[in-house]
Amino acid sequence: MTKYQKQTRLLAAVDCIIFGFDGQKLNLLVIQRAFEPEINNWSLMGGFIQTDESADEAAVRVLKKLTGLEGVYLEQLYTFADPLRDPVERTISIAYFALIDSNLYKKQLTDEYHAEWFPLEEIPDLIFDHKKMVLMAKENLRYKAALHPILFELLPPMFTIPLLQSLFEEVYETTFDKGNFSRKVISTGLLIKQKEKDKVNSKKGAFYYKLDKKHYKKNFNKFLHFIRNPEGISKTNTSL
């Protein structure tokens, strides 16, 4: 087949932004880059798209090769195409992001490329425009978390209100008033109280809850109202 004439060739790559919740902190997974430029510096998991694969296939392959992680649902975020984003050659990058329970993937994680989790407030300097990718992914995550029950997928089947509050505070980088958070989240009617209590992390014992998934799908707007302005929430304390 005749190729397009007088067109400049460019490279296409993928970069994977993986957020993980460990039960206390929301973290970002990064690796040390294995080649120049920026060799040994911290980087997202990235690689070039091969001629025989789609961008989605490339993202899955790259993530597994660099970290050992597989079976992770990756969602396409944005295409970064600044002509100067890569100092070597013109390269566009299709970014993907995911949110996982990092405790479930501990055994998969390899150290060949020094994959390491960093709390979001302690992320090291990243190569190229990777910090910009992470910031965009964080905003997208916050918006999706207000519309869909994705955060609950990071929790065990039964969870306490304090654990739920910790997760929401990590994602939205804010501090909720403990009493108001508990009252308002229970008032949504989307949580089912259990008879059992967590007596390990609470002196008095905190009751466990389950998400009523059936009613959540029909009434997710209750949690949207509960979060209030998910796109613009600040780092200050909020009383809800």
H-run or E-run covering 61 = helix 55-67
Question: What ranges do the domains of the chain cover?
Answer: 11-129, 151-238
- 124 upstream amide cis, omega within 30 of 0: no
Strand partners, 97: 17, 75
Residue identified by tokens 């949207």 is 224
Q: Compute how many other C-beta atoms are within 10 angstroms of the C-beta atom of residue 102.
A: 21
Q: DSSP alpha helices (H): ranges in 76-154?
A: 130-147
3-class DSSP state for residue 167?
Answer: helix
The token duo for 86 is 């890569």
Fold observed for domain 151-238: Arc Repressor Mutant, subunit A (1.10.10)
For residues 69, 73, 75, 79, the Cα torsion angle rounded to the nearest 10 degrees is: 20
pLDDT computed for residue 36 by the predictor? 95
Per-residue pLDDT of the chain (240 residues; tens, 9 = 90+): 678 888 888 999 999 999 999 989 999 999 999 999 999 999 999 999 999 999 999 999 999 999 999 999 999 999 999 999 999 999 999 999 999 999 999 999 998 999 999 999 999 999 999 999 999 999 999 888 877 778 888 888 899 999 999 999 999 888 889 998 899 888 888 899 999 998 887 667 899 999 887 777 666 666 655 565 544 444 444 444
Contact call for residues 33 and 40 (beta carbons, < 8 A): yes
3-class DSSP state for residue 171?
Answer: helix
Contact call for residues 85 and 13 (beta carbons, < 8 A): no
CATH class of 11-129: alpha beta
The token duo for 120 is 């979001």
